[in-house]
Amino acid sequence: MATKSLKARHLELADHNRQLEILNGGLFEEGELPYFKDKIAEIGEFPLKPRNLEILQINVGYMCNQVCEHCHVDAGPDRKEIMTRETMELCLEVIRNTGAHTLDLTGGAPEMNPDFRWFVEEASKAGIKDFIVRSNLTIIRANKKYHDLPQFFKKHNIHVVSSMPHYTKGKTDKQRGDGVFDKSIKALQELNAVGYGMPDSPLRLDLVYNPSGAFLPSDQAAMERDFKKALKEDFDISFHNLFAITNLPISRFLDYLIASENYDDYMISLVDAYNPSAVQNVMCTNTISVSWDGWLYDCDFNQMLDLKVASKVQHIREYNEDILQNRNIIISQHCYGCTAGAGSSCQGVVT
């Protein structure tokens, strides 16, 4: 398992243009598979338009204490991109004025941003209904200075959404690195200890399942049942919901697909599993994604491909919801990942 990002290893897939070349070429260029835009045109959804803004997703930096094999952010300890307090101030102004009811902080490990706690405290005052922090769990155990995160989250009524690829050690460590499973279990127990994830608790703890390989997630409800049973029986851990998320073929997951000679078959699986009823609810239709340096994107995946919003408003400093609502959403072949099967988003299935 690699311990550095694609960027630190100077690999060609660290370049978003190269990723787009691959996504637009191969089976699609040869006519074997239909382009995503043609597929959604069949149901009258091209160009894809946004609905009401509900979620403001802010990526506060690509730095992470883990180097997961499937990471679409290409995050890791060697990534130095980090949101400054100045950009956070701009985000706070938008948070106070936006129609969004959900604030979704992501990374990297968002907790590693030195201004993370300040930002959470300030954003908490803005009256957002659902304040999500996407935690990789191990950060809570990574260093003494993070040990009190469960109490900090509780104090601000943060909705914790945590990565957990499987309820067995082998599968989890293979995707996320040796020792990740044991640390994640310990972190979940600590979150439970302060009240997170208990059946009637208002302290929401949801888990995110990403397949650990070149296959799609199965039925989310069935997976949730299996996770709940195994984690309760083996470790006395409780949580609320499991979000099953399809891995999108970009960045490190794309690198894995190509290196393991699974790319073509994976794209065929995504296209075969295309579900037109998922199109209207894909996350880009109700989300704006903000990068560490304040640029605006339709989703976190477009952010990593540097596909900025198609609007005259492209940066948080000039944020204007009315103008943004009139944009066309930028799509490419990776979007098949969000419309496969029951559909996929940062909140799990969409149908």
Binding positions for another protein, rule: CB under 8 A: 166-168, 170-171, 209, 211, 213, 215-219, 222-223, 226-227, 268, 272
Q: Which is nearer to another protein, 158 or 278 (CB)?
A: 278
74 contacts: CB under 8 Å, gap ≥ 6 = 5, 6, 7, 14, 62, 251, 252, 304
Q: Which is nearer to another protein, 130 or 264 (CB)?
A: 264
In whole angstroms, the minimum distance from the beta carbon of 74 to another protein comes to 24
Spatial separation of the C-alpha atoms in residues 334 and 267, rounded to whole Å: 9
In whole angstroms, the minimum distance from the beta carbon of 168 to another protein comes to 6
Of all helices (H) and strands (E), which one includes residue 38? helix 36-41
Of all helices (H) and strands (E), which one includes residue 209? strand 205-209
Q: Residue 342, SS3?
A: coil
Contacts 24+ apart (CB under 8 A), 145-151: 146/111, 149/111, 150/190, 150/191, 150/193, 150/194, 150/196, 151/194
Spatial separation of the C-alpha atoms in residues 40 and 279, rounded to whole Å: 8
Q: Which is nearer to another protein, 156 or 171 (CB)?
A: 171
Q: Which is nearer to another protein, 207 or 316 (CB)?
A: 207
Rg of the chain on CA atoms, in Å: 19
In whole angstroms, the minimum distance from the beta carbon of 242 to another protein comes to 10
In whole angstroms, the minimum distance from the beta carbon of 216 to another protein comes to 6
In whole angstroms, the minimum distance from the beta carbon of 243 to another protein comes to 14
98 contacts: CB under 8 Å, gap ≥ 6 = 53, 56, 321
Q: Which is nearer to another protein, 196 or 227 (CB)?
A: 227
In whole angstroms, the minimum distance from the beta carbon of 177 to another protein comes to 19
Q: Which is nearer to another protein, 43 or 268 (CB)?
A: 268
For residue 131, which of 140, 117, 122, 120 has the smallest C-alpha distance? 120
